[in-house]
Amino acid sequence: VADQWLHTIVHADMDAFYAAIEQLDNPELRGRPVLVGPKSGRGVVLTASYEARPARVGSAMPMALARRRCPEAIVVPPRFERYTEVSKQVMRVFRDFSPDVEAISLDEAFLEMTGAGHIFGDPAAIGRKLKEAVREATHGLTVSVGISGTKYVAKVASGYAKPDGLTIVPPDSAVAWLAPQPVSVLWGAGPKVQARLAELGLETVGDVASYGARELESALGKMGRHFHELAHARDPRPVVGSRTAKSLSSERTLTVDVSSMAQVQFYVRQAANVVARRLRQKGEAACGVRVKLKTSDFRILTRQRVLKRATSASDEIYEAAKGLLAEFRDPGPFRLVGVAAFNIHSGQDDGQIDFLAPQSAKSGRLDDVLDRVDARFGPGTVQRAGELLKRTVFDEHMNLDSLIPDPSDQE
DNA sequence: TCTGGGGTCCTGATGCTT
DNA sequence: TCTGAAGCATCAGGACCC
């Protein structure tokens, strides 16, 4: 029996994570339907507590619709710092079970448990102990666990009996276990691919498994081959530890669509500041900048540019973004404005060498100087010195708030 | 019903170099 | 010198995931 467990991979997925944390921190919310998401405006539900789900509300649903379907639900704005804190606790528990933990998001991770049998027992015992350890460390949060021989099957298994589930799929029965499930459990098959598969008459994973690999590839490209492999429970991807992000972005859906270049520039400036600050906090710099606009009719437009040298200075990222703005031909109006940094290098900002260079002295820009303070004295210095002060002074300096009132400030 | 914000990866078009 | 093909990088868009 032990032989078939050549590999033991665990997928652990916290149940309704954000909503569960809100209920944990505020006893009044326990046992009641909770929606985590923006209270007003044009947002969507991030997480719905299990009490709300019978009313057919779930994540990614427009908040307006969710409130109509579940009027008794309590809407709670998200607190990402808190979720990050709890996530760290949970990940620490995972690392007590395995040195190889691959975090997928705040609430989800793979654990490589191959060969851990004589420490923790068989897969069922591993699952029970992991769930208990998470519950104890977090004072009551539940996690759903799936265990199999590949990442893919472990992932599908963890979602099989949510919430508080434990599903074990022995590798030699994985193909049969997957077969009756709908194609929507194929990782990477969203609405478009599912529609294509339906056209081919494929409804279950078993249908995909028995369809020709070559035909699937000619119909769906590279992904077709991939789905065929998954349907046969073949997934050679290893559990990999910390991965470094390839891009970093900040974007914002505006409360009211905007058309004027001055307004768009204002939000690009804000986003550039956020991106630059986060780069500096991580001690990283980027030599690519991308601007993203979403039109009122939901078309997404992007323009990008490679910089001559890596930077984490707000002004440099903003100047690049402002230049890109001129390349958009669409007059708007736009509902979303975003800035992303890509080609990220770890290590110091090249800009630090000119910390006191004449250029920054001449420009006299507050933000420019603050960037160089961070570069000179270490990431986060300015933030520690007072984010609020920086914000206030910057806004006054730019004098933009008086020109462009932000409707969201009045909410 | 009216659609977030953070990401990743894939694809087709295009342009550069050899 | 001109031309075409191959190989590669970059760009914009799209699909997908949590």
Which band of pLDDT confidence, cut at 50, 70 and 90, is reported for residue A243?
confident
Which chain A residues in 28-67 sit with Cβ < 7 A of strand B?
42-44, 46, 59-62, 64-65
The residue count for chain A: 411
Of the candidates A295, A285, A193, A211, the residue with the CA atom closest to the CA atom of residue A253: A295
Q: How far apart are CA A303 and CA A287, in angstroms?
A: 14
pLDDT > 80? residue A347: no
Which nucleotides of strand C come closer than 7 angstroms to any CB of the protein?
A: 10-18
Given a contact cutoff of 8 angstroms between Cβ atoms, the answer to whether A365 and A302 are in contact is no
Of the candidates A156, A160, A158, the residue with the CA atom closest to the CA atom of residue A188: A156
Strand B contacted by A247 CB (< 7 A): yes
Distances from the Cα of A196 to the Cα of A190, A207, A208, A399, angstroms: 10, 13, 12, 52
Q: How far apart are CA A224 and CA A229, in angstroms?
A: 9
Given a contact cutoff of 8 angstroms between Cβ atoms, the answer to whether A276 and A390 are in contact is no
Residues near A7 by beta carbon (within 8 Å), at least 6 away in sequence: A114, A149, A150, A171
- Quick: pLDDT tens for A45-92: 999 999 999 999 988 888 988 999 999 999 999 999 999 999 999 999
Query: What average pLDDT does chain A have?
Result: 83
Q: What are phi and psi of A58, to 5 degrees?
A: -160, 180
Given a contact cutoff of 8 angstroms between Cβ atoms, the answer to whether A64 and A85 are in contact is no
- Quick: pLDDT tens for A212-234: 888 888 888 888 888 999 999 99
Catalytic residue among A51, A102, A108, A112: A108
Q: How far apart are CA A202 and CA A80, in angstroms?
A: 40
Structure tokens at A409: 């400030």
3-state SS of A187-231 is CCCCHHHHHHHHHCCCCEHHHHHHCCHHHHHHHHCHHHHHHHHHH
Determine the nucleotide nearest to A195 by Cα–C1' distance.
C15
pLDDT > 80? residue A389: no
Q: How far apart are CA A3 and CA A114, in angstroms?
A: 12
Which nucleotides of strand B come closer than 7 angstroms to any CB of the protein?
A: 1-12
- Quick: pLDDT tens for A391-400: 333 333 333 3
Model pLDDT, residue A374? 53
pLDDT > 80? residue A205: yes
Using CB atoms within 10 A of its CB, is residue A81 exposed (0-12), middle (13-18) or buried (19+)?
exposed
Please count the CA atoms within 13 angstroms of the CA of A109 that sit on its side-chain side. Answer: 28
Give the closest residue to B6 (Cα–C1′): A249
Number of CB atoms found within 10 A of residue A247's CB: 13
Determine the nucleotide nearest to A306 by Cα–C1' distance.
C10
Active site residue A108: yes
pTM, 2 dp: 0.82
* Percent of chain A clearing pLDDT 70 (strictly above): 83
Strand B contacted by A338 CB (< 7 A): yes
Number of CB atoms found within 10 A of residue A167's CB: 21
Tokens 């009719």, located at residue: A297
User: What mean pLDDT do residues A348-362 have?
Assistant: 35
- Quick: pLDDT tens for A109-147: 999 999 999 999 999 999 999 999 999 999 999 999 999
Strand order in the sheet with A247-258: A247-258, A334-346, A284-295, A300-311
Give the closest residue to B1 (Cα–C1′): A65
* Percent of chain A clearing pLDDT 90 (strictly above): 54
- Quick: pLDDT tens for A154-177: 999 999 998 999 999 999 999 999
Amino acid letter for position A403: L
